[in-house]
């Protein structure tokens, strides 16, 4: 095991770090649309030679709206999944575990609200509608139809991914809009404890499983990854539609296709690749089975 995560210390840390939505995005909060919101490592608009600078900036804003909106979508299935897992603590009469998991669920509910607040502020400034894949209920139904260990692995990957997004790409980027950067910072603070709770959840769900059972769970995990990859393609199309609604259509079909392919790859890296390569996610999966980790390695290249 690479960690010493305990429900008690996680709960204490999360209680210390908790914040209120109004402190992060209060009444009158605004975004500065003259600045980028998303870090270039995730937005990947810089190298799109077929776009003018103002188009790149608009696409960056559309990507930022997509980013927090999709986190809202994802957290709508994390919340019921975590609540289901509260029962495990009840069965074992572990009050601290129950409290930690309930706290986790309530923080995700708060994040969903935070992202909705952001969408309002964004729409007020952007003054255009940007489509988002979904609806969240349909995404939740598709994901939660898989076995719990498959879902828990996917959630674990997402939680660690948010950590590296903030630390590697947002924290030291002074160009970014301060409100957007602060939303990501505050989300990162609470997600740090979620990633640890997810690790414990994955280990509990995997306990006693045979290699064949782990293989089946990773099959389910890969099916969820593939489901989201299809979603990334659709979302990239929505983003281009929103961009063209503002700046007009691209002159050539070839440019449009190249733009779509490159942005699809940018979304793949944002939501899948950057999670699959995360060292902590890989340690947990490798701790269950090196064979199953090797299967994930084969996927990484596709999502870089
Ligand atoms: Fe969250
Ligand atoms: Fe979370």
CA–centroid distance, 187 to ligand 2, in Å, is: 8
CA–centroid distance, 170 to ligand 1, in Å, is: 16
Higher pLDDT among residues 65 and 298, named by residue: 65
Residue 252: Cβ within 10 Å count: 10
- The reported pLDDT for the residue numbered 268 is 98
Instruction: Using the predicted structure, report yes or no on whether residue 298 has a pLDDT greater than 90.
Output: no
Closest by CA to 101, choosing from 194, 18, 206, 187, is 194
Locate tokens 């596709």: which residue?
302
CA–centroid distance, 70 to ligand 1, in Å, is: 11
Instruction: Using the predicted structure, report yes or no on whether residue 232 has a pLDDT greater than 90.
Output: yes
Locate tokens 């605004």: which residue?
30
Contacts (Cβ under 8 Å, ≥6 apart) of 235: 66, 70, 132, 133, 267
CA–centroid distance, 181 to ligand 2, in Å, is: 17
Instruction: Using the predicted structure, report yes or no on whether residue 91 has a pLDDT greater than 90.
Output: no
Ligand in nearest proximity to the CA of 71:
1
Report residue 13: phi and psi, to 5°: -65, -40
Instruction: Using the predicted structure, report yes or no on whether residue 2 has a pLDDT greater than 90.
Output: no
pTM: 0.96
Residue 38: Cβ within 10 Å count: 29
Q: Which residues surround ligand 1, an ion (CB under 5 A)?
A: 111
Percentage with pLDDT > 70 across the chain = 100
112: left (phi over 0), alpha (psi -120 to 50) or beta: alpha
Instruction: Using the predicted structure, report yes or no on whether residue 303 has a pLDDT greater than 90.
Output: yes
CA–centroid distance, 110 to ligand 1, in Å, is: 8
Instruction: Using the predicted structure, report yes or no on whether residue 292 has a pLDDT greater than 90.
Output: yes
CB 69 within 8 Å of CB 76: no
The DSSP H or E segment spanning 100 is: helix 95-126
Provide the 3-class DSSP secondary structure of residue 48: coil
Report how far residue 110's alpha carbon sits from residue 116's, in angstroms, rounded to the nearest whole number: 10
Instruction: Using the predicted structure, report yes or no on whether residue 272 has a pLDDT greater than 80.
Output: yes
CA–CA–CA angle 64, 65, 70 (5° rounding) = 100
Contacts (Cβ under 8 Å, ≥6 apart) of 154: 143, 221, 224, 225
CA–centroid distance, 105 to ligand 2, in Å, is: 8
Give the mean pLDDT of 73-85.
Answer: 94
- Total H helices, total E strands in the chain: 13, 0
- The reported pLDDT for the residue numbered 178 is 97
For the stretch 54-63, pLDDT in tens is 999 999 999 9
CA–centroid distance, 134 to ligand 2, in Å, is: 19
Locate tokens 């994040």: which residue?
111
Ligand in nearest proximity to the CA of 111:
1
The packing angle between helices 211-247 and 136-144, to 10°, is 160
């Amino acid at each position: 095991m690479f960690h010493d995560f305990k429900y008690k210390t996680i709960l204490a840390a999360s209680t210390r770090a908790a914040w209120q939505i109004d402190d992060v995005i209060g009444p009158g909060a605004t975004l500065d649309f003259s600045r980028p919101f998303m870090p270039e490592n995730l937005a990947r608009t810089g190298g799109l030679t077929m776009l003018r600078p103002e188009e790149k900036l608009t696409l960056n804003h559309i990507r930022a709206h997509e980013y927090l909106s999709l986190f809202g979508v994802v957290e709508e299935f994390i919340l019921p999944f975590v609540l289901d897992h509260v029962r495990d603590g009840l069965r074992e009469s572990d009050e601290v575990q129950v409290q930690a998991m309930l706290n986790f669920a309530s923080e995700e509910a708060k994040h969903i609200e935070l992202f909705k607040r952001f969408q309002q502020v964004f729409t007020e400034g952007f003054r255009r509608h940007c489509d988002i894949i979904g609806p969240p209920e349909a995404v939740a139904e598709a994901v939660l139809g898989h076995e719990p260990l498959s879902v828990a692995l996917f959630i674990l990957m997402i939680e660690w991914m948010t950590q590296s997004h903030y630390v590697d790409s947002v924290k030291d980027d002074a160009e970014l809009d301060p409100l957007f950067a602060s939303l990501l910072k505050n989300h990162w603070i609470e997600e740090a404890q979620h990633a640890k709770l997810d690790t414990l959840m994955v280990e509990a769900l995997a306990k006693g499983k045979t290699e064949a059972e782990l293989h089946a769970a990773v099959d389910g995990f890969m099916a969820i990854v593939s489901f989201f990859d299809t979603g990334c393609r659709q979302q990239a199309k929505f983003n281009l539609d929103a961009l063209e609604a503002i700046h007009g259509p691209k002159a050539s079909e070839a440019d449009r296709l190249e733009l779509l392919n490159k942005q699809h790859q940018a979304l793949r890296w944002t939501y899948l690749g950057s999670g699959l390569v995360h060292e902590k996610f890989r340690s947990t999966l490798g701790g269950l089975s090196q064979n199953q980790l090797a299967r994930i390695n084969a996927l990484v290249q596709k999502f870089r």
